[in-house]
Structure 1
């Protein structure tokens, strides 16, 4: 006797396991984002050292995102994700262990944080590279998988800070870091158990050896690591849609960080709203964004991608900066967060689906690593930009400058033909053979 629902459920176990692992990982990351800086600040009293810790983590993460892609393709995304989580358990776990034994010097802390960042680069790339196999196994649209992942990310942003604050306040920063370390182990275990049915072997790239009668011969030896990396970069830069999206997202990440790291805190101080208003803004925005992502996961396949992209960025971009600049009441700010946050929830499902449909399966690791690194590349300068603008022209003009720069960056695709390749219909038409 067969049960019709059993097989689809079994097919989706890897996807559900991966989503659960992502939820745990993102919550753990949010905990460490607050607990580690607080640990440094309370033990050293130095804001400069606190900033150095953040730099020590993000720099190797971006570099390994860029250069670790071929390793993900060679090892296989599943094994790489599990290995990175396991090693992260050890690296992050050493921080509270050494702290409690009194042997955690600042140079050692910098080294451990740098190792954790270096592992996060290829680890994040590997979990992303698993998506095509998960989608194929579960037989769901890309929008469904990327939409659910986006909803989980937004939800973690909403509640992760509250959880982190509560943990740090009740059990201390070092013990909160220990919980983050344990989350890596739990993620690795979940992936081991739930994704057994996925292909675990990496690709075996080979190097071309000339041609005979116009047909390439192939040596029975692996292509070099540099050649794989170069192939990934060549593919990315030649794909007008993907490269355009990378440049656009890099610029919006720069402007978003200027807002969140400098402009928003200065607004909270100068307006008298206080630090509680910052948390409220992030919580409302994150919650609305999570709901938007859930709706996108359910109905994203029915929406035209390019039009959805333009409308979502139009709503989530400029209005946010204008309302802060003109000094509207907090209730109006929060109402904007509901609308803008919900709109932002549609973006990642659309952009993720476009990305995975355009990248060949054997190149997913290296291309997504490079594209992710490009998208993150300007973020370290966001705080500097915000600080320079506020110091030079004041808060309200700075908000308007950043807001209109955001508008120009996100609306420029309306004038750039390559972006219209995001739509499924046009991509499908492009694949049709041309009659002689």
Structure 2
């Protein structure tokens, strides 16, 4: 499962570099490049939400394989028909976005089941999956740049198609599907969507997490797209400082995600969440507002990467615990769709704040809003471990009463059962070992 995710994520990072380069090389227009890239990104989140009922009904294994095969077939069109025109390239990327959204959601759903099949905990599986994702982001992008420079944009698409093909083989041959939720016979597709929305609406901890995801993704996009580059230019720094800071975040998050996979399940949850979000969220914005030198900014961003790798696997594990297995496809894809909702307008928000009050005020507003968003779930959620099902009480065997001999009175037998001796409370570790 981790190998399939590595292939898919590397192919996605390759597309993020190859497609803009291909469009710029052909048209020289930044506006057309942005439009083509948006045609791939926008369907990604929307189709994830629409695929939720299908993930629960058909199974994530089939959805993952079908999505990767579709993307791979679309990407080899240039190899068959030559360099496509711009309208065909745009249509290709729309199809890739529509297929990649459900496929990525399916692999995310398969991680807890694959971890259970491997005899590992959900926390360890999610931590390793997070480390794979961060590695693909940090290393895959550099590899993509080398492939585009060496092979060219068209042939780099072939490499992405090959990676998706390998991911399809891995999922098809090695991963088992979880038990599917067939639902009622009269339940329509829209009814199943409503069931997932109703569950999310009625679960207060999941609502708090979803609201936090929406706000933080919005502010992260404002920081990455507008505020951080403007800060670097206003301070007389070049793009090297920005790239070094972002690379530091990625590398540090890989190390902390691996650490989370190793012993994250033994850490106190609320404290881990607070340390992680406070070090990785508002500090990245406030350090810019304080006007500290680049060396201090890079050091703070390294701490932010450590915090990010700690709390993201924790939140993923909590979602797995709070959502019943038959509803995970619908509920988790809906949460992802909400989390992506603020990203398209994040850059616009940063530009508006800059125009209204300048860089310093925009940074302080975003930093305080980020702090409020991440503190809310800390007190709206129950951070205790999920309760284990009670052990069945042992039943005493029924012993037939002895027959009294006639003419002779036998003494009455009295048996006293002390409940504490029969069903004594056990620790969580003993409970798991008995199960």
Instruction: Give the 5 Å matches for 1:350-369.
Output: 350-369=314-333
CA pair 251-287 structure 1, distance change in 2 beyond 3 A: same
Check conservation: 1:248, 1:410, Cα contact below 8 A: yes
Matched with 1:14 is none
Matched with 1:340 is 304
Output the aligned Cα RMSD.
2.1
1:135 equivalent among 115, 119, 141? 115
CA pair 96-275 structure 1, distance change in 2 beyond 3 A: farther
Shift of 1:431: 8.9
Check conservation: 1:232, 1:363, Cα contact below 8 A: yes
Q: Distance in 2 between matches of 1:94 and 1:281?
A: 37
SS at match of 2:120: coil
CA pair 40-392 structure 1, distance change in 2 beyond 3 A: farther
Check conservation: 1:72, 1:365, Cα contact below 8 A: yes
TM-score scaled by structure 1? 0.85
Check conservation: 2:43, 2:98, Cα contact below 8 A: yes
Check conservation: 1:325, 1:400, Cα contact below 8 A: yes
Q: Deviations over 1:311-346 (max 9, x none)?
A: 211111222112222332222122112111101111
The alignment status of 1:37 with 2:17, answered yes or no, reads: no
Instruction: Give the 5 Å matches for 1:397-436.
Output: 397-414=361-378, 416=379, 418-419=380-381, 421-424=382-385, 427-428=386-387
Matched with 1:125 is 105
Matched with 2:397 is none
Give unmatched runs, 5+ long, in structure 1. Answer: 1-17, 207-220
CA pair 318-431 structure 1, distance change in 2 beyond 3 A: farther
Matched with 2:158 is 178
The alignment status of 1:238 with 2:183, answered yes or no, reads: no
The alignment status of 1:223 with 2:184, answered yes or no, reads: no
The alignment status of 1:331 with 2:295, answered yes or no, reads: yes
TM-score scaled by structure 2? 0.85
Q: Distance in 2 between matches of 1:169 and 1:272?
A: 29
Instruction: Give the 5 Å matches for 1:88-167.
Output: 88-95=71-78, 97-98=80-81, 101-102=82-83, 104-167=84-147
Q: Distance in 1 between matches of 2:354 and 2:177?
A: 51
Q: Distance in 2 between matches of 1:284 and 1:88?
A: 31
Q: Deviations over 1:242-293 (max 9, x none)?
A: 1210111111011111111111222233333222222211211100011111
Shift of 1:96: 5.8
CA pair 226-322 structure 1, distance change in 2 beyond 3 A: same
Q: Distance in 1 between matches of 2:79 and 2:364?
A: 43
